C-alpha cells in the first residue's frame, strides 16, 4: 500500500481543481466533491498507516522512499528538484 501514498495529496488537489474550473456554480456538488477528495485521501492515509504499523521495527531500519513520476514534477531548469514520499516510524 506504500506505493499509493502519493495519492494522499492528489485527491484533495484534484477535488480543488474540479471545483475551481467546473463545479463552482453548484454549491452542493462542490461540497460533495471536496468531501470526496478528503475522504479518498483519508482512506489511503489509513491504509498506509495500517501497513506501517504491521511492518513495525523493520520500517525503522529500512524506511520507504518513492519519487513521484516525472510528469508530476515541476520543471526547474538545470536544477533537478525531486518530489516524493517518505514513510518511516517518525512521520
pLDDT in tens, 61-85: 999 998 877 666 677 778 777 778 8
Lowest mean pLDDT, pick from 17-26, 29-38, 54-63, 67-76: 67-76
Q: Measuring CA to CA, which residue among 23, 53, 51, 57 is closest to residue 37?
A: 23
Spatial separation of the C-alpha atoms in residues 52 and 18, rounded to whole Å? 31
38 pLDDT exceeds 90?
Answer: yes
Q: Residue 37 class from Cβ within 10 Å (0-12 exposed, 13-18 middle, 19+ buried)?
A: buried
Which three-class secondary structure state does DSSP give residue 82? Answer: coil
Q: How far apart are CA 85 and CA 45, in angstroms?
A: 12
Q: Check residue 78 and give its pLDDT.
A: 81
Beta bridge partners of 67: 84
Range with the lowest mean pLDDT among 11-15, 29-33, 50-54, 81-85? Answer: 81-85
Reported pTM: 0.82
Amino acid at each position: 500500500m506504500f506505493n499509493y501514498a502519493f495519492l494522499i495529496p492528489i485527491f484533495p488537489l484534484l477535488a480543488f481543481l474540479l471545483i475551481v474550473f467546473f463545479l463552482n456554480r453548484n454549491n452542493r456538488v462542490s461540497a460533495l466533491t471536496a468531501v470526496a477528495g478528503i475522504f479518498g485521501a483519508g482512506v489511503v492515509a489509513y491504509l498506509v498507516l495500517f501497513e506501517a504499523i504491521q511492518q513495525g521495527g523493520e520500517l525503522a531500519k529500512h524506511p520507504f522512499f518513492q519519487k513521484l513520476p516525472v510528469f508530476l514534477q515541476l520543471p526547474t531548469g538545470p536544477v533537478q528538484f525531486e518530489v516524493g514520499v517518505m514513510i518511516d516510524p517518525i512521520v
